[in-house]
Amino acid sequence: MTGKSLRAGPDTRGHFGAFGGRYVAETLMPLILELEREYRRAQADPAFKAEFEDLLRHYVGRPSPLYYAERMTEAVRQVAAQTGADGDTGAKIYLKRDELNHTGAHKINNCIGQILLARRMGKTRIIAETGAGQHGVATATVCARFGLPCTIYMGARDMERQQPNVFRMRLLGAEVRGVTAGRATLKDAMNEALRDWVASVSDTYYLIGTSAGPHPYPELVRDFQSVIGTEAKAQLQEAEGRLPDLLVAAIGGGSNAIGLFHPFLDDESVRIIGVEAAGKGLDGADHAASLSGGRPGVLHGNKTYLLQDEDGQITEGHSISAGLDYPGIGPEHSWLHEIGRVEYRSATDQDALDAFQFLCRTEGIIPALEPSHALAVVRKEAAAMSRDDIIIANLCGRGDKDIFTVAEALGVEL
């Protein structure tokens, strides 16, 4: 790579180009600055890295496999041949199996890293926000593992939709507080977590679940999730002796995607696609595609693309996947979008449902609805690429949590 590395961000003030930053109330500023100082010390401490890696290996179950999805690849090739392509298309599809992690998704990688930071900072209480409940479960899990009390904020509407995860969190010893403020979904849960934090700054650590929020959260969440891309790169090297041609991952806040993408950003031959949730379609308001359907603004501590009305009021996202249902996106994605390094596309609820069933039938893997959005784009892209090409898709979560949603969408009563 000749020019400047694309992996060097953020700058010292937490900006990725025009995005990121630290837009928080003054009460929180000293805390954010302290977190940054502690993170720099942790980065320089070999013992921190060693403990993080040990927990990922023995507690989370890493490395997750990089799996050649042979029947999915074949199925895509057959469809490509039937639809009049010249018969030679259909890229090899590899799946990064982060759904096999303890707790069933990539979220745990970040939670392990942050709980170690919280402990270093001497914090004795953990708070977090959750939408679908996956980050809440992962947070409750590490809090149980480290013996720290935790409070999870969850929109009251989301609690109704995700009863099993609410029960899981409680089993793990977490207090789950329903949020009725605003529209009672993820962004309101995040507001409420910030309100708790501002009133409990001396003893409480806020464990943010995605690569968003005030600096240094987007950076440290990315760093903890980059284990995904780092492993995938080495695993593909071993399997195929080369780099992939295309990476694909789904994006809500964007932590699984930045975790896969970041180690490859300077590899110019690697195309990268992030897939946002188009919900019922980008032509209406019922989607969660911040980049395709939003514009830059400031929310939850960072400047990034947001779903908002003409007066700067935040609008609600919609997706069949509760994990993608957030009106913002991590600031590094906004920057990668503007410089054009990553292509951002979208997949509708229906595209995701189709891809969900396709993976169930071809590979015997029930994916979460979030990565099903990525798989929808993988099917289209693979069909048009050469058989020598290689795609890695991030299978960032498993679908057990989604079976009720899928059943309802398919008109099946359980």
- For the bound state, the minimum distance from the C-beta of residue 328 to other proteins, rounded and expressed in Å, comes to 10
Beta-bridge mates of residue 245: none
If one asks whether residue 314 binds other proteins (CB under 8 A), the answer comes out as yes
User: Distance between CA atoms of 40 and 413, rounded to whole angstroms?
Assistant: 52
Contact residue for other proteins among 301, 330, 331, 399 (CB under 8 A):
301
From 69-77, 167-175, 188-196, 372-380, give the range in contact with other proteins by CB under 8 A. 188-196
Cα 135-35-205 angle, rounded to 5 deg: 45
Of 181 and 339, the one with the shorter C-beta distance to other proteins is: 181
Amino acid at 368: A
Q: Pick from 9, 10, 19, 22 the residue near other proteins by CB under 8 A.
A: 22
Interface mask toward other proteins for 196-235; x: CB under 8 A = --xxxxx---------------------------------
**In terms of DSSP bridges, do strands 271-279 and 343-348 run parallel, antiparallel, or are they unpaired?**
parallel
Q: How far is the CB of 295 from other proteins (least distance, A)?
A: 8
**Region from 25-33, 166-174, 371-379, 393-401 binding other proteins, contact rule CB under 8 A:** 25-33
User: Which C-beta is closer to other proteins: that of 153 or that of 358?
Assistant: 153
The distance of closest approach from Cβ of residue 10 to other proteins in the complex, given in angstroms and rounded to an integer, is 13
Q: Which of these ranges, 58-66, 106-114, 301-309, 363-371, lies near other proteins under the rule CB under 8 A?
A: 301-309
Looking at beta carbons only, is 192 or 370 nearer to other proteins?
Answer: 192
* Cβ nearer to other proteins, comparing 28 with 212: 28
Contact with other proteins (CB under 8 A): which of 1, 11, 30, 284?
A: 30
Q: Least distance (Å) from other proteins to the CB of residue 313?
A: 5
Q: Does 26 bind other proteins (CB under 8 A)?
A: yes
Which CB atom, from 22 or from 168, has the smaller least distance to other proteins? 22
Q: Judged by CB under 8 A, does residue 313 bind other proteins? A: yes
Residue nearer to other proteins on the CB measure, 24 or 66: 24
By CB under 8 A, name the one of 106, 262, 271, 300 that touches other proteins: 300
299 lies in the binding site for other proteins (CB under 8 A): yes
Query: Which residues, 6 or more positions from 122, have their beta carbon under 8 angstroms from its beta carbon?
Result: none
Total residues belonging to the chain? 414
Smaller CB separation from other proteins, 170 or 295: 295
- Segment contacting other proteins by CB under 8 A, of 22-30, 57-65, 231-239, 363-371: 22-30
By CB under 8 A, which span of 254-262, 279-287, 295-303, 336-344 interacts with other proteins?
295-303
- Choose one: 49-57, 182-190, 333-341, 398-406; the region binding other proteins (CB under 8 A): 182-190
Count of residues of this chain found to bind other proteins when the rule CB under 8 A is applied: 37
- C-beta of residue 374 within 8 angstroms of C-beta of residue 275: yes
Question: 3-state SS of the chain?
Answer: CCCCCCCCCCCCCCEECCEEEEECCCCCHHHHHHHHHHHHHHHCCHHHHHHHHHHHHHHHCCCCCEEECHHHHHHHHHHHHHCCCCCCECCEEEEECHHHCCCCECHHHHHHHHHHHHHHCCCCEEEEEECCCHHHHHHHHHHHHHCCCEEEEEEHHHHHHCHHHHHHHHHCCCEEEEECCCCCCHHHHHHHHHHHHHCCCCCEEECCCCCCCCCCHHHHHHHHHCHHHHHHHHHHHHHHCCCCCEEEEEECCCHHHHHHHHHHCCCCCCEEEEEEEEECCCCCCCCCCHHHHCEEEEECEEEEEECECCCCCECCCCCCCHHHCCCCCCHHHHHHHHHCCCEEEEEEHHHHHHHHHHHHHHHCCCECHHHHHHHHHHHHHHHHCECCCEEEEECCEECHHHHHHHHHHCCCCC
Assess 310 for contact with other proteins (CB under 8 A).
Answer: yes
Q: Does residue 312 touch other proteins according to CB under 8 A?
A: yes
Residues that bind other proteins (CB under 8 A): 13, 21-31, 181-182, 187-188, 190-191, 194-195, 198-202, 297-301, 306, 308, 310-314
